[in-house]
Amino acid sequence: MARFTGMRKDECNRLKWSDINFEQVMIHIPGTKTEDSDAWLSLAPVALHALEALRKKSDPGKCPWVFPGRSWQTKGRKVYGRSYMFERIEKRTGIHLKPKDLRDYFATQVSSLVSDPTVVMKLLRHTNMKTTSGYLRTVDNRMRCAGELGGNQWGQFRGQKTASNSAKRHPGTDGKVG
């Protein structure tokens, strides 16, 4: 959920079935830091499908939590730690993740798709643009690095012309610049 909603770890742990409106494809994220962070947000289709599949496997009438504990100590109760899940991911893939990494991933993806930083701020439920600007800087840095890689990667082709790129860039000319 954190990857597709930008939810904080505690918000995921406290998520109840009553916080999900399947008909309107919305999720209620109760505020954890300020009143302004309390919000109803649209669900991405992939998150909606995952929640629908999870709802079929569980009994929302019996257990209100979307992600209850599974071990014998926490079965059916709210859980605060999810370290076992991240340890399994690292063991299987070699990738070390923390819960905040999933929120950061969401923020980076949204930042790269929208040009309005206010949208990112609202989706992350930040109350201050300064907090959100850290995510925007990350996207700019990644784009700059990608551009530099692209320049180095394609540098070997500088000066070479093909019929197709000459015709597209300079119709009616011999393809020479300036």
**14-65 residue pLDDT tens:** 889 999 999 999 999 877 666 666 788 889 899 999 999 989 988 888 888 8
- What pLDDT, on a 0 to 100 scale, did the predictor assign at position 52? 95
**What is the topology classification, in CATH, of domain 2-150?**
hpI Integrase; Chain A (1.10.443)
Instruction: Please answer whether residues 110 and 119 qualify as being in contact, where contact means their C-beta atoms are separated by less than 8 angstroms.
Output: yes
E strands, 18-81, in order: 20-21, 26-29, 39-42
Comparison of pLDDT for 103 and 28, the residue scoring more: 28
| Residues paired with residue 41 on neighbouring β-strands, in sequence order | 27
Terminal alpha carbon distance of the chain? 53
Kindly state the percentage of the chain with pLDDT values over 70: 64
Per-residue pLDDT at 45: 92
For the chain, how big is the Rg over CA atoms in Å? 23
**What single letter denotes the amino acid at residue 27?**
I
Burial class (CB in 10 A: 0-12, 13-18, 19+), 11: buried
Separation between Cα atoms, residue 128 and residue 34, nearest integer Å = 11
Distance from CA of residue 145 to its chain's centroid?
20
pTM: predicted TM-score of the whole model, two decimal places: 0.62
SS3 category, 89: helix
Going from N- to C-terminal start, the domains of the chain cover: 2-150
Going by pLDDT thresholds of 50, 70 and 90, the confidence category of residue 77 is low
